[in-house]
Amino acid sequence: MPPEKTKRACVIGWPVKHSRSPVIHGYWLKKYGLKGSYEAVAVPPDGLEKFLRGLPRDYAGCNITLPHKEEALGLMDEVDPLARKAGAVNTVAVRPGGKLYGFNTDIHGFTRNLESAGKAWQKKKPALVVGAGGASRAVVAALVGAGCATIYITNRTPERLRLLGEELSAAFGVSLHLVGWHDREDALATVDLVVNTTSQGMEGAPALELDLRKLKDGALVADLIYTPLETPLLREAVRRHHPTVGGLGMLLHQAAPGFEAWFGVKPEVDEELRKVVEDDLAKAK
Ligand code: ATR
């Protein structure tokens, strides 16, 4: 029998060096004693097609991060229906014969992360999504998938809000409620979940401007940001006795389906993994 081939996977992005995916997949490869590797590869915006064409030669698949998630969708041989609806692919698996299959594990990652809040996440109750960029697509897809009855979206730039609202309403066959930026705080009184998908609150950026005074008692506050682990929004939510969910759990959970597809083991998101990634984030400061 020929020796077992080492399976390789990677994350591609531009820039990519900040990615924590090599730490997560490296942890699992070691934990499960698998013969495999996972690396970060910098792929410039005009190099995506060439890279993906060559992917089957070297890799079992890859993760895709900014700015490639939307363009990648058009370069797949086959796309998971949910990823197509969300308009973004963040994970690719090379099928036997070299065909590229694209899916979106951000959706799964966000859902699993909210589930970690237990009863504080009331799936079907109204939610407000702040931001209309790439990240909000996966969040809306996850909320629709969970059966959320009323989804409000707000965004600083009205044109972007309108475009995303139209696209996602048509894709998912639901009516999303668009909320003007100046009315966002009024919407807080009617929702049981608020999600920040903007870059505001990230290290080096100002805090998200969202006064939580009107937020319903007991409403869950989620942030996709994980640097810092506790954003100003989450800190304020805690101060006001709201349950919260940070962004790190989504990062960890989104990694699992890719790992399983490439290396054949369903990995566990455990406390030790969380600690390893938290330490790595602290080291990078
Ligand atoms: P991603 O793909 O990570 O979502 P993005 O597509 O650049 O990144 O989207 C960034 C989001 O953060 C957008 O909703 C953006 O709002 P605009 O459409 O108005 O740009 C939001 N954002 C960025 N800076 C912001 C700010 N200062 N105040 C409010 N929202 C901001």
Quick: pLDDT tens for 56-68: 999 999 999 999 9
Tokens found for residue 25: 């997949």
- The residue whose two tokens read 């409620």 is 177
**Residue limits of CATH 3.40.50.720 in the chain:** 118-242
pLDDT of residue 4: 66
**Cα(89)–Cα(82) distance, integer angstroms:** 10
Q: In this model, does residue 2 exceed pLDDT 80? A: no
CB proximity list for 247: less than 8 A, separation 6 or greater? 113, 223, 224, 225, 226
Residue range 252-285, pLDDT digits in tens = 999 999 999 999 999 999 999 999 999 999 998 7
Query: Ligand 1, closest atom to CA 131?
Result: 14
pLDDT of residue 5: 76
pLDDT of residue 284: 85
Q: In this model, does residue 97 exceed pLDDT 90? A: yes
Distance 79 CA to ligand 1 centre (A): 26
Tell me the pLDDT of the chain averaged across its residues.
Answer: 96
CATH class of 7-105+254-284: alpha beta
pLDDT of residue 177: 97
Q: How confident is the model at residue 111 (pLDDT cuts 50, 70, 90)?
A: very high
Residue range 220-264, pLDDT digits in tens = 999 999 999 999 999 999 999 999 999 999 999 999 999 999 999
C-alpha distances (whole Å) from 65 to each of 16, 71, 72, 105, 152 are 8, 11, 10, 12, 26
Residue spans of beta strands (DSSP E) within 14-150: 36-42, 61-64, 78-79, 91-94, 100-103, 127-130
CATH architecture of 118-242: 3-Layer(aba) Sandwich (3.40)
pLDDT more than 70, % of the chain: 99
Distance 178 CA to ligand 1 centre (A): 16
Query: Ligand 1, closest atom to CA 136?
Result: 4
Residue range 177-230, pLDDT digits in tens = 999 999 999 999 999 999 999 999 999 999 999 999 999 999 999 999 999 999
**Cα(208)–Cα(233) distance, integer angstroms:** 7
Q: Residue 100: what residue type?
A: L
The catalytic position among 31, 50, 69, 266 is 69
**Cα(151)–Cα(77) distance, integer angstroms:** 32
pLDDT of residue 196: 98
Q: Give residue ranges with CB within 6 A of ligand 1.
A: 131-135, 155-157, 160, 197-200
Q: Residue 275: what residue type?
A: K
**Residue limits of CATH 3.40.50.10860 in the chain:** 7-105+254-284
Residue 266 known to be catalytic: no
Mean pLDDT score, 27-39: 97
Q: In this model, does residue 1 exceed pLDDT 70? A: no
Distance 198 CA to ligand 1 centre (A): 5
